[in-house]
């Protein structure tokens, strides 16, 4: 069975521990029969038996021995049970740990396309609730199955030795129990698939509400959010109830059948005793151990229930487990070499969901040059730069770095050579220091300060009471847009990459600050090719070359002066942005 194989595969490293646990489970469940047996012997020999009084007088040692034996066995059995349970817990936690880290890496290794289609709340559900259910299968479901089977088998064997006929009568109950359990399993399975889907929706709604709390407040949409949440909450609650109700539809049959062992014993056993085919002693032996048949049968329902939950969760877990990104980072670079920084686009086209986003783009940037990209919203600027670190692969053409197609380069090496300050500034809930040193956590503090200075961030960081040790919230909450951008810029510069990509990184900083940043960029201590996406002429004017994108095509290319002379898109933008500043600006053009 696939599911078992999967579990077995992921138990690697704990397989021996797990097998020992299973064996101890068998031993331990068999031991549960011993103490009642000793107790019975004490009662028979010293209390209820014919020679009880004389035995009590003559065989005190035996009594003491049996009692000590009982305590001994109890200590042994419970000690064993304690040890076994810990083994199960340990093995299941180890598996949980192993799979969780594996999935974490899987998630980290997915390409952007995957993230375009998977919601955070959904991934969170898989990594928490679903994995917990998978762990439960190892720690509880399989354990319970083995223990129930052992007790059941032991009881059946024991009963067979006493009386085959009565045992067969009792076993008559098993087939109907199995049939009911089977029907139940089939009916409840889709319910658990549904339940876990709704849990995932609840998670997503809550997660987005938390992430978007500022928007919620800005629009005073608290009531609407509560309503949206309540919908999901009701759905989830209803699904929970519905699944439980299906279980309760079958529970009465299973429970009645399981308890009916007592009735059959009474009736069939009673008749057999009356007929003299069974002695009273044999009958009471049956009745003392009848729980060995009924308890495992009682467990079947609960086991089936949990198995179905487990299946539902596992099917979600393996979606991540076996997800295969188109762009695979093998993390194989032994020695990461430093590139010179030559970038070339060779007739590149890119499609996203069947829509052409970039068409036939060709250009090249020499090491140390600065390329500026400008264009309308949605023209494909960010998409274009995303192709360089291979966040996406081209549909046609080639992207070359230092003359090699990026698809042939080792991803770690390639990305290690590129510093990107993204447009959507993502900071982590860590200290400012930790955020700037994100690319190289061992970076000395002086360097962090130096790069913060280059990004014009040192000034405001110094003014915060905790300075570089200030913890910024996720997404940098608590900082202004411009401040976040500058930290992201410092973070990108701090890796001292030969290729630096700035995606509209200074849109929210004021001009004085931007000027400072421009100067820093021109005077970087390391050789660096720069690609800068910008909307402001003030940012692009210094570039060696400017690329104008429109609807995924390059419509103009050249230096500031060349493009102004062309009197095309760039010229228009220039006019637009300078008309507010003074008429003499026209003269420059």
Partner 1 sequence: MARNKFDIDENLESPFNIRHFRRAIVYIKKQKTPMIVAFVLSALSAGIALSAPLIMQHVVDVTIPEKDTLSLVGWSAVTLATIVISVILATIRSRIMTRVGQDIIFEIRTDLFKHLQELPFQYYDDRPQGKILIRVVNYVNSVSDVLSNGIINFILEILNLLFIAAFMFAVDVKLSLVILAGLPVFIAVILLIKTRQRRAWQAVSNKSSNLNAYLQESISGIRVTQIFTREKRNEGIFTRLSVNYRSAWMKTMYLNFLVPFSVDNLTTMVTTAIFFVGLLAMGPEEATFGVILAMSSYASRFWQPILNLSNIYNSFVNSVAYLERIFETLDEPVTVSDVPKARELPPIQGSVSFDDVTFAYDPGLNILENLSFNVKAGESIALVGPTGAGKTTVVNLLSRFYNVTGGKILIDGHDISEVKLKSLRSQMGIMLQDSFIFSGTILDNIRYGKLDATEEEVIAAAKTVCADDFIREFEKGYLTEVNERGSKLSQGQRQLISFARTLLADPRILILDEATSSIDAQTERLLQKGLNELLKGRTSFIIAHRLSTVRNCDRILYVADRGVAESGSHDQLIAKQGRYYKLHTAQKMEA
Residues 173-212 that bind partner 1 (CB under 8 A): 199, 202-204, 206-212
Phi and psi (nearest 5°) for 340?
A: -85, -30
CB of 197 to partner 1, least distance (A): 14
| Neighbouring C-alpha atoms within 13 Å toward the C-beta of 161 | 6
**Shorter beta-carbon distance to partner 1: residue 377 or 525:** 377
Tokens 């994995």 — which residue?
A: 131
The terminus-to-terminus CA distance of the chain in angstroms comes to: 75
Q: If binding is defined by CB under 8 A, does position 403 make contact with partner 1?
A: no
Nearest Cα to Cα of residue 420 among 488, 373, 480, 474: 488
CB atoms within 10 A of CB 8: 11
Determine which helix (DSSP H) or strand (DSSP E) holds 348, and give its type and residue range: strand 343-352
Nearest Cα to Cα of residue 434 among 418, 445, 422: 445
Residues 5-34 that bind partner 1 (CB under 8 A): none
Q: If binding is defined by CB under 8 A, does position 428 make contact with partner 1?
A: yes
Q: If binding is defined by CB under 8 A, does position 107 make contact with partner 1?
A: yes
Determine which helix (DSSP H) or strand (DSSP E) holds 57, and give its type and residue range: helix 52-58
Nearest Cα to Cα of residue 334 among 441, 418, 416: 416
Q: If binding is defined by CB under 8 A, does position 270 make contact with partner 1?
A: yes
Query: What is the chain's alpha carbon radius of gyration, rounded to the nearest angstrom?
Result: 36
Q: If binding is defined by CB under 8 A, does position 382 make contact with partner 1?
A: yes
**Shorter beta-carbon distance to partner 1: residue 1 or 335:** 335
β-strand pairing of 529-533 with 430-431: unpaired
CB of 167 to partner 1, least distance (A): 18
Given 416, 433, 436, 517, the residue binding partner 1 (CB under 8 A): 416
Tokens 């913060």 — which residue?
A: 452
Q: If binding is defined by CB under 8 A, does position 137 make contact with partner 1?
A: no
Given 161, 337, 429, 565, the residue binding partner 1 (CB under 8 A): 429
Which region, judged by CB under 8 A, interacts with partner 1, from 150-158, 273-281, 305-313, 445-453?
273-281
- CA 395 to chain centroid, in Å, comes to 30
Q: If binding is defined by CB under 8 A, does position 445 make contact with partner 1?
A: no
Which region, judged by CB under 8 A, interacts with partner 1, from 150-158, 338-346, 375-383, 443-451?
375-383
CB atoms within 10 A of CB 278: 21
β-strand pairing of 396-401 with 355-365: unpaired
**Shorter beta-carbon distance to partner 1: residue 474 or 562:** 474
Alpha-carbon span 67 to 75, nearest angstrom:
12
CB of 300 to partner 1, least distance (A): 15
**Shorter beta-carbon distance to partner 1: residue 4 or 337:** 337
Q: Which two tokens stand for residue 402?
A: 């230092």
Residues 447-466 that bind partner 1 (CB under 8 A): 460, 464-466
Given 182, 480, 519, 527, the residue binding partner 1 (CB under 8 A): 480
Residues 49-68 that bind partner 1 (CB under 8 A): 52-53, 56, 60, 63-64, 67-68
CB of 248 to partner 1, least distance (A): 5
**Shorter beta-carbon distance to partner 1: residue 64 or 164:** 64
Which region, judged by CB under 8 A, interacts with partner 1, from 15-23, 358-366, 380-388, 522-530?
380-388
Given 19, 328, 481, 562, the residue binding partner 1 (CB under 8 A): 481
- CA 38 to chain centroid, in Å, comes to 51
Given 12, 75, 172, 561, the residue binding partner 1 (CB under 8 A): 75
Total of residues contacting partner 1 (CB under 8 A): 186
Q: If binding is defined by CB under 8 A, does position 526 make contact with partner 1?
A: no
Q: If binding is defined by CB under 8 A, does position 244 make contact with partner 1?
A: yes
Q: If binding is defined by CB under 8 A, does position 1 make contact with partner 1?
A: no
CB of 1 to partner 1, least distance (A): 27
Q: If binding is defined by CB under 8 A, does position 86 make contact with partner 1?
A: yes
Alpha-carbon span 260 to 488, nearest angstrom:
71
CB atoms within 10 A of CB 506: 27
CB of 543 to partner 1, least distance (A): 13
Burial of 175 (0-12, 13-18, 19+ CB in 10 A): exposed
Q: What DSSP line would sit under 86-133, residue for residue?
A: HHHHHHHHHHHHHHHHHHHHHHHH--HHHHHH--HHHHHHIIIIIHHH
Q: What DSSP state is assigned to residue 337?
A: P
Quick note: the x/- pattern for partner 1 over 32-51, rule CB under 8 A, is ---x---x--xx--xxx---
Given 287, 347, 362, 364, the residue binding partner 1 (CB under 8 A): 287
Residues 138-167 that bind partner 1 (CB under 8 A): none
Would you say 395 and 556 are in contact if contact means Cβ atoms under 8 Å apart?
A: no
Would you say 189 and 312 are in contact if contact means Cβ atoms under 8 Å apart?
A: yes
Given 152, 192, 283, 339, the residue binding partner 1 (CB under 8 A): 283
| Neighbouring C-alpha atoms within 13 Å toward the C-beta of 125 | 24
């Amino acid at each position: 069975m696939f599911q078992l194989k999967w579990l077995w595969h992921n138990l690697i490293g704990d397989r021996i521990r797990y097998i020992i646990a299973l064996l101890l489970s068998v031993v331990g469940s068999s031991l549960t029969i011993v103490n009642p047996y000793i107790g019975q012997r004490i009662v028979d020999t010293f209390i209820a038996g014919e020679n009880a009084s004389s035995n009590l007088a003559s065989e005190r040692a035996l009594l003491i021995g049996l009692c000590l034996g009982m305590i001994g066995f109890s200590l042994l059995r419970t000690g064993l049970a304690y040890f076994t349970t810990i083994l199960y817990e340990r093995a299941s936690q180890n598996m949980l740990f192993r799979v969780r880290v594996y999935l974490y890496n899987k998630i980290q290794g997915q390409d952007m396309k995957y993230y375009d289609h998977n919601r955070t709340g959904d991934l969170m559900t898989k990594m928490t609730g679903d994995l917990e259910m998978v762990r439960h299968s190892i720690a509880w479901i399989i354990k319970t199955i083995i223990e129930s089977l052992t007790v059941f088998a032991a009881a059946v064997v024991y009963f067979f030795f006493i009386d085959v006929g009565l045992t067969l009568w009792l076993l008559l109950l098993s087939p109907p129990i199995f049939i009911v359990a089977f029907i139940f399993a089939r009916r409840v399975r889709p319910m658990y698939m549904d339940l876990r889907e709704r849990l995932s929706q609840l998670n997503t709604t809550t997660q987005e509400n938390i992430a978007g709390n500022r928007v919620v407040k800005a629009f005073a949409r608290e009531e609407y959010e509560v309503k949206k949440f309540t919908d999901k909450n009701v759905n989830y609650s209803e699904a929970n109830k519905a699944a439980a109700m299906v279980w309760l539809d079958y529970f009465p049959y299973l429970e009645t059948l399981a308890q009916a062992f007592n009735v059959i014993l009474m009736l069939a056993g009673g008749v057999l005793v009356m007929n003299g085919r069974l002695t009273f002693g044999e009958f009471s032996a049956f009745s003392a151990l009848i729980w060995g048949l009924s308890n495992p049968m009682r467990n079947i329902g609960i086991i089936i229930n949990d198995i179905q939950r487990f299946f539902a969760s596992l099917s979600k877990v393996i979606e991540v487990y076996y997800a295969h990104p188109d762009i695979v980072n093998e993390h194989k670079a032994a020695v990461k070499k430093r590139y010179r920084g030559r970038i070339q686009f060779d007739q590149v086209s890119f499609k996203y969901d069947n829509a052409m986003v970039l068409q036939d783009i060709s250009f090249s940037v020499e090491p140390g040059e600065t390329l500026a990209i400008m264009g309308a919203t949605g023209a494909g600027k960010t998409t274009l730069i995303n192709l360089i670190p291979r966040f996406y692969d081209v549909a046609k053409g080639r992207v070359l770095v230092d003359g090699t197609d990026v698809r042939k380069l080792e991803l770690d090496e390639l990305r290690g050579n590129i510093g990107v300050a993204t447009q959507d500034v993502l900071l982590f809930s860590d200290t400012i220091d930790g955020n700037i040193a994100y690319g190289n956590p061992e970076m000395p503090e002086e360097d962090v300060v130096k790069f913060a200075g280059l990004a014009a961030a040192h000034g405001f960081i110094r003014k915060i009471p905790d300075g570089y040790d200030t913890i910024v919230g996720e997404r940098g909450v608590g900082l202004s847009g411009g401040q976040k951008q500058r930290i992201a810029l410092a973070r990108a510069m701090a890796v001292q990459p030969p290729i630096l990509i700035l995606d509209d990184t200074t849109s929210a900083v004021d001009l004085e600050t931007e000027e400072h940043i421009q100067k820093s960029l021109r005077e970087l201590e390391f050789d660096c090719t720069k690609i800068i996406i910008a909307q402001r002429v003030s940012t692009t004017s210094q570039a060696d070359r400017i690329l104008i994108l429109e609807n995924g095509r390059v419509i103009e290319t050249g230096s500031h002066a060349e493009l102004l002379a062309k009197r095309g898109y760039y010229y228009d933008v220039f006019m637009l942005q300078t008309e507010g500043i003074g008429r003499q600006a026209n003269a420059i053009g």
